[in-house]
Structure 1
Amino acid sequence: FGLIFGVLAIDIGFTPLETMGMSLIVFGGASQIVLLQLFSGGASSLVIISSVGAVNSRHLLYGAVVSEHLSDLKLIWKIIISYFLIDQAFAISNEYLKKNKESNRYFHLVGGGVTCWVIWQSTTFLGIILGAAIPEKLGLSFAVPLTFLALLVNDFRKFINVIVIIISGLVATLGYNYIPFKAYIIVAALAGLFSAMILTKMIKK
């Protein structure tokens, strides 16, 4: 994923310094890919910022979930952990934090985050270096939507999730040419959110 990001960023015009800086500061694979897609499509700054913010908003949920296990930490450690609290680190550490009560259990979360950080920065750097050497016919740009599709595999196990995915996909596809300012991603996300809320209420009744 980092390799793809590095290659695509250079391909659409970002400098090596800008590309590496984005990975160091943002450290968010999905949001960085979304940024590249919108930037290459000519989206406005407002749409790009809003979309990246919407994609990253899930980290608020992650923080709320782990906060009950880390409430006794000093502020500096909370700041450090918030930087490393990404999808993979949360996924592997959430259950561990629930089951273990040791005072230093937060190192499990930090360790997972640091490992992901090293991999992400390394692969981004490799993407920058190898970008020019990778032939365009390999179709690496197509690997981006494939990556997002792979993330959805588990969601296809529930009927509600399938309906929400279809609705979001249709709105994004239809809105691509008709929604102004390239805001189709935001509209599709909102459509999926409201669909999920409505379907959940209908099932509960």
Structure 2
Amino acid sequence: MNSNVATENLVVIRRREMLDGAKATIPLIIGAIPFGIIFGTLAEPSGLSALGALAMSVIVFAGSGQFIALGLLAAGAAVPVIIATTFVVNLRHILYAANLVPKVRHLPQRWRIMMAFGLTDETFAAVSSRFMLQDDTRHAHWFYLGSWLAMYSNWVFCTGLGIALGELFPDMTEWGLDFAMSVTFIGMVMPYLKSRPMWAAVIVSGAVAIATIALPHKLGLMVAAICGIAVGLSLHMLLNAAGKKEKGDG
């Protein structure tokens, strides 16, 4: 009897975690909807078949990488160039993974593989508070699963919707729907702007990203990220050292 109750409780906990993860991702999903639709509408004009576009969303599942791949495909770039460029753009996910590794290293490999596939900007933003700010993370991977399944199903669905709408409304790319993704990224950053190191990291990375926009293969994104992290971490360490010194003097 006790084992049955424990099993039922575990099922309830996992279900609640998944539901909470999906709920936490809804605001980000709303911003990603037009992004996914636009990707679908751009597929065929860029030289990618409808099936190929849908397969890319199912297998690749990387919004910015998919858009860059479409642009390179339309420009007639070679396959190795497309792969190398999208690889560089998605290197930022290493930074996300580095934050999550200490919290998930105890999980079976099948879970870590699934989480690696589902790691996107939106999912990281949705789950970071669950993993970083709460002490009990025993079931947090189910929260993660709920988040990425919600984002994944939305992305694949919106790609298909964009493919269908692209045939009905060929000029949809001129509607300006892409602004929603910029707003979404701003929304992901704003909750973290609670300290001087975070403000410094955001300002420096933004300035460097603008200054290095001409670098090939979007390398400026990685340069900006590294510079922002370096400045933010340095300021954080300086403030901590100053605080300890004041306590010592006192």
Provide, for residues 46-66 of structure 1, a one-character-per-residue CA deviation record: whole Å limited to 9, x for no partner: 332221001111222222211
1:193 positional shift: 6.2
Once the two structures are overlaid, the 10-residue window that deviates more, 15-24 or 55-64, is 55-64
Q: Which amino acid aligns with 2:154?
A: I
Quick one: structure 1 residues 149 and 185, their matched pair in 2 at CA, closer, same or farther if it must change by over 3 Å? farther
Query: Would you say the 8 A contact 1:164–1:192 is kept in 2?
Result: yes
- The question of 1:101 aligning with 2:136 is answered yes
Task: Give the TM-score normalised by the residue count of structure 2.
Answer: 0.64
Q: Using the alignment, how far apart are the partners of 2:207 and 2:137 within structure 1?
A: 42
Q: Using the alignment, how far apart are the partners of 1:93 and 1:189 within structure 2?
A: 23
Which residue number in structure 1 is paired with residue 30 of structure 2?
none
Q: Using the alignment, how far apart are the partners of 1:127 and 1:44 within structure 2?
A: 26
Aligned length: 187
Over aligned residue pairs, what C-alpha RMSD do you find? 2.9
1:36-185 aligned at under 5 Å gives the runs: 36-98=70-132, 99-136=134-171, 139-140=174-175, 143-144=177-178, 146=179, 149-150=182-183, 153=186, 158-169=202-213, 171=214, 184-185=216-217
1:137 positional shift: 6.8
Query: Would you say the 8 A contact 1:167–1:191 is kept in 2?
Result: no
Which residue number in structure 1 is paired with residue 61 of structure 2?
27
1:103 positional shift: 2.0
Q: Using the alignment, how far apart are the partners of 1:90 and 1:96 within structure 2?
A: 10
Provide, for residues 102-139 of structure 1, a one-character-per-residue CA deviation record: whole Å limited to 9, x for no partner: 42221011110000001001000101111111132761
Q: Using the alignment, how far apart are the partners of 1:65 and 1:107 within structure 2?
A: 17
Q: Using the alignment, how far apart are the partners of 2:154 and 2:172 within structure 1?
A: 26
Provide, for residues 153-191 of structure 1, a one-character-per-residue CA deviation record: whole Å limited to 9, x for no partner: 459x6542342132123x25xxxxxxxxxxx33454466
Query: Would you say the 8 A contact 2:85–2:218 is kept in 1?
Result: yes
Query: Would you say the 8 A contact 1:165–1:192 is kept in 2?
Result: yes
Once the two structures are overlaid, the 10-residue window that deviates more, 44-53 or 65-74, is 44-53
Query: Would you say the 8 A contact 1:6–1:126 is kept in 2?
Result: yes
Task: Give the TM-score normalised by the residue count of structure 1.
Answer: 0.77
Q: Which amino acid aligns with 1:34?
A: I
Q: What is the aligned-residue identity percentage?
A: 26
User: Which is greater in Rg?
Assistant: 2
1:143 positional shift: 4.7
Query: Would you say the 8 A contact 1:24–1:121 is kept in 2?
Result: yes
